[in-house]
Homo-oligomer: A and B are copies of this chain.
Amino acid sequence: MKEIQDREQLNHYLRAFQLESVFHEPLLPHLSLYGFEQGDLICTQGQAPEYLYVLVNGKIKIYTTSSEGKTLVLSFKTPLEVIGDVEYVRGTPILNTVEAVSSVCMIGIHYRWLHKYGRDHAPLLQFLLEIITQKFYIKSNSLSFNLMHPVEVRLASYLLSVTSDESDSRLEGQQSAVSLSDAANFIGTSYRHLNRVIRQFCIKGLVERDKGVIVVKDRNGLSALAGHNIYEHNRGKGGTRL
């Protein structure tokens, strides 16, 4: 992580994401811009959090590691997203590890200033409420979905969600996006089993493998399998009502 001394850039992001009212006058001087390289850990499960981060550029991966060493990828996030919000409100240790999947740019602010100047600042509180309810909503869907559907359906849904916003319909290997074992951990299954299911999909003509890369061939077929259940990872409609 390195701090980016570029007030201009910071202001640009604040404007672009309409955060100017959220971080009002007294908070402004304490905002900084931070850059992370692919693979950098932005925060680590179990540690004491210090900063609230706002993801404004790049892609991050959020995961948890069990005491037995298993990893579960909880989500991939793109802007606008907030890290450390739940911990800020509850005063608890960091819940999940956050890692940069690409180069990442985040706005950071120390809890100290949030407590001091943001505690009663309604726009900030409203912003946090919106972000957190959205997280809750996504996680709630994710929980039900995972518990109620077999891996086959989850994979179909996952493939659709990952490829929908990419230009082409390929699931990249390691370079640009998400590895297969990340995918396995995200779906909550073993790498072995993931391969098994992908094989099935190949036989059915839904996808094709091309040395480590999965290419979606039949979106409609996958969609039928997924049964309209898609992992959400974008801000749904239903705009702010607050």
Contact A188 B147 (CB under 8 A): yes
**Shortest CB–CB separation between residue A118 and chain B, in angstroms?**
9
Neighbouring B residues of A122 by C-beta, 8 Å: 119-122, 125
Contact A86 B143 (CB under 8 A): no
Contact B140 A89 (CB under 8 A): no
Contact A86 B133 (CB under 8 A): yes
Contact with B along A47-71 (1 / 0, CB 8 A): 0000000000000000010111010
Neighbouring B residues of A236 by C-beta, 8 Å: 92
Contact A125 B119 (CB under 8 A): no
**Shortest CB–CB separation between residue A96 and chain B, in angstroms?**
8
Partner of A144, one of B64, B121, B144: B64
Contact B241 A144 (CB under 8 A): no
Contact B241 A88 (CB under 8 A): yes
Partner of A132, one of B136, B227, B228, B239: B136
Contact B90 A137 (CB under 8 A): yes
Q: CA of A140 to CA of B147 in the docked complex: distance in angstroms?
A: 13
**With contact pairs A137-B95, A241-B90 given, residues A142 and B144 touching in the complex (Cβ less than 8 Å):** no
Number of copies: 2
Contact with B along A76-91 (1 / 0, CB 8 A): 0000000001101111
Residue A74 at the chain B interface, CB threshold 8 Å: yes
**With contact pairs A122-B122, A143-B146 given, residues A136 and B188 touching in the complex (Cβ less than 8 Å):** no
Residue A20 at the chain B interface, CB threshold 8 Å: no
**Shortest CB–CB separation between residue A207 and chain B, in angstroms?**
23
In the complex, what residue of chain B is closest to A142 when comparing beta carbons? Answer: B143
In A151-200, the 8 Å CB interface with B consists of: 188
Contact B120 A238 (CB under 8 A): no
Sampled A-B contacts (16; CB under 8 Å): A64-B144, A66-B148, A72-B144, A72-B147, A89-B241, A89-B242, A90-B134, A90-B238, A91-B240, A120-B122, A122-B122, A125-B126, A129-B129, A139-B143, A143-B146, A147-B188
